[in-house]
């Protein structure tokens, strides 16, 4: 299983990798405002890379429930200095977390390799041709509704079947539109228009959600359903449950884990892989091909 991006190809046949969250927003649910200064954000990204992240995912617009949208120029002003600063000091993979083609185009020009789109390339008609022509990696996510309204009253007949069918349908549509199948990665959208019960059902079925031979990405780090299950809303208490879920979902077959804290989640993933017999536990560098 390989995931092709604009510059490098990740070999995910035996090992998963970590995508580190780097939000340069004032209002993200967990770290809003912490990295709004580009210099601080670049230092944070380099720290995450040093801890073993294969991908740094840069986001300039919060997608937390109830979040208000920001303009493309504002989003570009937030993310470009960080992408340029990282690209000048690090050769690893950079992802832009956006649903706007204008932002994605500017990010790719600045050095981004991957577009991570919470709308599954449906929110902006320019996104699909941009990604196709750029040959970048693409994360296709499922979301019910939009960030402002997605948690108001999410309802499914069968959440697993509906999310699986959506991802399969998007895969078919994108391939028909000319995207390289090896450029595609899929995300069931934990917490994006899902109740706690929906999230748990998707986690139980994690091994069967992605289209055939395509990697699945899971983004559950510090999310509110963890606090609900713990009976405590303190974000700081969600770190170790996140680590536990990283190990569990890796065993189920998830290849990319999008997390805030790199070192602990990467360690949990590598231990799960060692038990699975999928990897030499001594080998820790990201497995990439030029």
Q: Which residues are catalytic?
A: 223, 258
Give CA–CA dist 43/32, Å, rounded: 16
Give CA–CA dist 81/173, Å, rounded: 34
């Amino acid at each position: 299983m390989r995931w092709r991006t604009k510059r490098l190809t990740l070999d995910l046949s035996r090992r998963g990798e970590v995508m580190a969250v780097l939000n340069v927003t004032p209002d993200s649910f967990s770290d809003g405002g912490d990295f709004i200064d580009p210099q601080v954000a670049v230092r944070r990204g380099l720290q995450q890379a040093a801890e073993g992240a294969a991908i740094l995912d840069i986001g300039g617009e919060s997608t937390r429930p109830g979040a208000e949208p920001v303009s493309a120029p504002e989003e570009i002003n937030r993310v470009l200095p960080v992408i340029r600063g990282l690209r000048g000091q690090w050769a690893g993979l950079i992802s832009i977390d956006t649903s706007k083609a204008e932002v994605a185009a500017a990010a790719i020009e600045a050095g981004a390799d991957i577009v991570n789109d919470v709308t599954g390339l449906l929110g902006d008609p320019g996104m699909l041709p941009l990604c196709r022509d750029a040959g970048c990696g693409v994360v296709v996510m499922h979301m019910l509704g939009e960030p402002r309204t997605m948690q108001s009253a999410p309802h499914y007949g069968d959440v697993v079947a509906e999310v699986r069918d959506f991802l399969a349908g998007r895969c078919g549509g994108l391939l028909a539109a000319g995207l390289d199948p090896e450029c595609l990665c899929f995300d069931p959208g934990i917490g994006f228009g899902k109740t706690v019960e929906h999230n748990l059902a998707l986690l139980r079925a994690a091994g069967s959600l992605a289209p055939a031979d395509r990697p699945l990405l899971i983004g559950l780090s510090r999310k509110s359903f963890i606090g609900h299950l713990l009976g405590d809303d303190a974000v700081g208490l969600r770190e170790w449950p996140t680590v536990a879920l990283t190990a569990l979902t890796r065993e189920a077959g998830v290849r990319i884990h999008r997390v805030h804290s790199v070192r602990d989640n990467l360690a949990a993933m590598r231990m799960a892989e060692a038990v699975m017999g999928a990897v030499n536990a001594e080998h820790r560098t990201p497995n990439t091909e030029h």
